[in-house]
Amino acid sequence: MHDQTEAFIPLSVPHIAGNEWQYVKECLDTGWVSSAGSYVNKFEQMMSEYVGMPHAVAVVNGTAALHTALLVAGVQPHDEVIVSDLTFVAPANAVRYAGAIPVFIGPEADYYQIDPVQVEKFLQTECEKTSTGLINQNTGRRVRAMIPVHVLGHPVDINALSELCSAYDLTLISDATEALGSKFLGRSVASYGDIACLSFNGNKIMTTGGGGMLLTHNAEWAEHARYLTTQAKDDPLEYDHGAIGYNYRLTNIQAALGCAQLEQISSFVAKKRQIAHTYATELRHIPGICVMPEADWAESNYWMYTIRVDADVFGMDSRVLLQYLAQHKIQTRPVWRPMHLLKPHQQSPVYGGAVSEIIYREALSLPCSVGLSDLEQTRVVQTIREAHRNQV
Ligand SMILES: *Cc1c(COP(=O)(O)O)cnc(C)c1O
């Protein structure tokens, strides 16, 4: 049914369709190519307005945004930070860059997001409030912050987590790197939390090639973030540095790309949601396929469309299906191996890791580029149907 001439369908590729060329050319023509220039400020302003957070600091990538967020939040070496167990590795690594230790919490099974019930159980049963802060009684370490990740673009239950952060005096750093354009109760997901972090990596819903941003309500934190990400300069002329700073600033060329991409974000989100709707309609009735969920209180950007495959019912497991689709030139991908299984993070405490492992085993992300055509999507759906028919 599929001949050799059929084109490769990638998992997800950038969509460059607006003023990208014009804005980047302007940087090149004027010589404003580096980390100063009007596009950096403009990009920060545009994003701050789009998200609804008053302060924005552009940085080199999302991981740097998370690292900087932990530093300005005052996380110290040997502190503990609660992190989603089922996530891309960046937030766990950022915690370690700050010298702190992640405590991994597994997801709930409905939307695959960090489980507030498990978080509460950890805080209630393992931690104690003392004069020096919240102490994990098992490790003797201070618990300082929480980084929930809006996995695959679907919002976490941010209200439940905010309440826990208030009750236990934890800083809430929202990893919204996958969730730009997603809403929680009608409001931009990235407007919640003490700090929200974004990424503009090539595989995200919008891209600057590589890039990131830190957003916050706290003017002092934003100022501090700007300071730390520009090598902690204390004097504009003399090379005087008041702290160990970082070279984390975004360049003007990247910011120019960012402005052009951000102008198109509404249509990107609309297209992602349309792709999701079509997959849900077409795949829902195939036995053993669980389509991507969306909570009542959520409006997901469906950044990475991900199904679950029940091997017994479908007739093959997610990895065999991945191979089958690959043979038909359709690129798919598993979700991330849970953090508690990764060599550099195995020493960290973990709660609810079993749910992560089930989702990890069953999940498969399908092609969902903003530029995906109807014909291409039909081919993906038909090939999955065919895989099921051939196997059962
Ligand atoms: C993409 C991503 C990041 C940041 O990635 P960068 O490549 O550093 O921009 C952070 N956390 C999660 C969950 C991500 O998916």
pLDDT tens, per residue, the chain with 392 residues? 555 568 999 999 999 999 999 999 999 999 999 888 899 999 999 999 999 999 999 999 999 999 999 999 999 999 999 999 999 999 999 999 999 999 999 999 999 999 999 999 999 999 999 999 999 999 999 999 999 999 999 999 999 999 999 999 999 999 999 999 999 999 999 999 999 999 999 999 999 999 999 999 999 999 999 999 999 999 999 999 999 999 999 999 999 999 999 999 999 999 999 999 999 999 999 999 999 999 999 999 999 999 999 999 999 999 999 999 999 999 999 999 999 999 999 999 999 999 999 999 999 999 999 999 999 999 999 999 999 998 75
SS3 for 303?
A: coil
Contact 206, 47 (CB under 8 A): no
CA of 119 to the centre of ligand 1 (A): 22
Cα dist from 152 to 77, 101, 181, whole Å: 30, 24, 12
Cα 314-320-325 angle, rounded to 5 deg: 95
- What's the first-to-final CA gap in the chain, in angstroms? 18
What is the predicted pLDDT for the residue at 171? 98
Contacts of 88 (CB under 8 A, 6+ apart): 149, 177, 178, 336
Q: Is the CB of 148 within 6 Å of ligand 1?
A: no
CA of 36 to the centre of ligand 1 (A): 24
- Exposed/middle/buried for residue 389 (C-beta within 10 Å: 0-12, 13-18, 19+): exposed
DSSP bridge partners of 216? 55, 195
Minimum-distance ligand 1 atom for the alpha carbon of 87: 13
Cα dist from 98 to 81, 201, 353, whole Å: 10, 22, 24
Q: Is the CB of 62 within 6 Å of ligand 1?
A: yes
Pinpoint the alpha helices (H) of the chain. Answer: 20-30, 38-51, 62-72, 90-97, 116-126, 158-168, 219-228, 252-262, 265-283, 311-314, 318-327, 353-362, 374-391
What is the predicted pLDDT for the residue at 37? 85
The pair of three-digit structure tokens given for residue 290, joined into one six-digit string? 């669980």
Q: Is the CB of 37 within 6 Å of ligand 1?
A: no
The pair of three-digit structure tokens given for residue 271, joined into one six-digit string? 């297209």
Q: Is the CB of 212 within 6 Å of ligand 1?
A: yes
Q: Which of 112, 175, 206, 213 to mutate to test the pocket of ligand 1 (most atoms within 8 A of CB)?
A: 175
DSSP class of residue 120? H
Q: Which of 12, 59, 63 to mutate to test the pocket of ligand 1 (most atoms within 8 A of CB)?
A: 63
Contact 268, 355 (CB under 8 A): no
Q: Which of 201, 203, 257, 306 to mutate to test the pocket of ligand 1 (most atoms within 8 A of CB)?
A: 201
